[in-house]
Structure 1
């Protein structure tokens, strides 16, 4: 067991660092299995040497963040813990994910500043700014769509694109809802709600409504994209695993001059009829390796929703792996 000490000059900043009712300290204690004891302007860290060193590093980084005038929220604590405890995952082609520094990679929107919380998210955000066509593939809750929309809003605010176009296939998740009442917009809105939720996080309500009215922001089903050329726009296709191969080809060929296109999806949540190939998997096989097209991959360790979401995804992945191994054994026996 190690016992480390760290002192802070500004008690006001230290109070913010600890959080209301020391909730930030509690968050660090639970994540690293250490004990943090605050006395005056000093915090004592008690625990295994490796975890105590990580806790010390996290506290110092968060305090430096406060010194620059930026806030510290539970999400910021979570990000620093992840950066210290999860080394970069190797990408499918064997390269290591690039490190971009800590706490400096920001996406500015009208309502908030977004910061990636894992190395995979940092690599993904970097690829969105650098590539005209980018894919984000991984399980639910890893921020694929959220970060893509945030980058789109940021580029729109900076004048790098003239409009934002968000789309997704209007495919039901295992249920048949039948015909929905209302006009066309009323019918498709339930499918588009996750995209509205992301936009509402980044833009004030009145401004968002005005931009939609002026067609500066469009949210439409994938089927409405045929025949269009999307120029000077930031385009996002969400839930791309539910696009067919023909739909994916149609969408990808909409890319026009001055535009950026992002394709996000989760290969484990395909809702297409049995026997219909997912356009996302097909495009991944076909386009991987083409220059200026990036592929970013996420795992359960990148989940930033409730901690139980990560545990649920890992349980399902483990079950799928066991089922695959049983199938392989049966084939060998035959």
Structure 2
């Protein structure tokens, strides 16, 4: 018998374990030969080596499912363990999923052109009237790239320019001062990344805030702005 510790990285353990640990109890019932104990984001497993290898592989598939879709159900768990494609995997054209598991997709031909341009170019400029999804779609593409580890950080940058109204003196550090100008970006991020995880990313500078005036001379090969 062997023992392993599996760490659920980059996901919310509460989503993975389910309400009242329902998902965890189901996983335990599907692997009766293993002794499984979970605490926070660490799963401790004791049992046969062959059974352990199957368990570890399927847990990683479930973790990636939660990372991609921000949710997982009992049907998804059964499909993964049986080696089948989940229903969510069969949906085409999804950029990313919001925190409630709803797919975010292009709703117009112009939005699809933006996505296509993002795939083919290092720098993309999106112009258009307010409300056409420029900011929201851009954030969705950035979050997807971060989840897929094709980038290492997201830098949010906007010119600190007032829209006709004088805000006056804003107290606090640089982040506090520029936050009002970045609120549309925060709104989109909060719709796609769980609040606790988002705050952790900001604190670790995985998601970084920088005024446009401070961007000169920076290397952005590892980031989406």
> For the superposition of Structure 1 and Structure 2, which TM-score range results when normalised by the shorter chain?
0.5 to 0.7
Q: Is the 8 A contact 1:211 1:217 kept in 2?
A: yes
C-alpha separation in 1, matches of 2:151 and 2:175: 25
- Runs of 4+ in structure 1 off by over 6 angstroms are none
The answer as to 2:130 corresponding to 1:137 is no
Specify the SS of the correspondent of 1:108: strand
Post-superposition CA distance 1:101-146 (Å, at most 9, x none): xx73211246242111011111111111221111111000000111
Give structure 2 stretches of 5+ with no counterpart: 1-85
The CA deviation at 1:69 is 4.7
Specify the SS of the correspondent of 1:134: coil
C-alpha separation in 1, matches of 2:177 and 2:184: 15
CA RMSD of aligned residues (A): 1.8
Counterpart among 142, 157, 175 of residue 152 in structure 1? 142
Specify the SS of the correspondent of 2:124: strand
Specify the SS of the correspondent of 2:92: coil
C-alpha separation in 2, matches of 1:183 and 1:152: 25
The TM-score normalised by the length of structure 2 is 0.57
Q: 1:220 to 1:173 in 2, by over 3 A?
A: same
Q: How does 1:68-87 map to 2 (within 5 A)?
A: 69=87
Correspondence for 1:117: 107
Counterpart among 70, 95, 102 of residue 107 in structure 1? 95
Which structure is larger by alpha-carbon Rg, 1 or 2? 1
C-alpha separation in 1, matches of 2:125 and 2:173: 32
Q: Is the 8 A contact 1:170 1:188 kept in 2?
A: yes
The answer as to 2:158 corresponding to 1:173 is no
Q: How does 1:111-260 map to 2 (within 5 A)?
A: 111=99, 112=101, 113-235=103-225
Equivalent residues, number: 136
C-alpha separation in 1, matches of 2:183 and 2:142: 17
Give structure 1 stretches of 5+ with no counterpart: 1-67, 71-102, 236-334
The CA deviation at 1:182 is 2.4
C-alpha separation in 2, matches of 1:106 and 1:184: 35
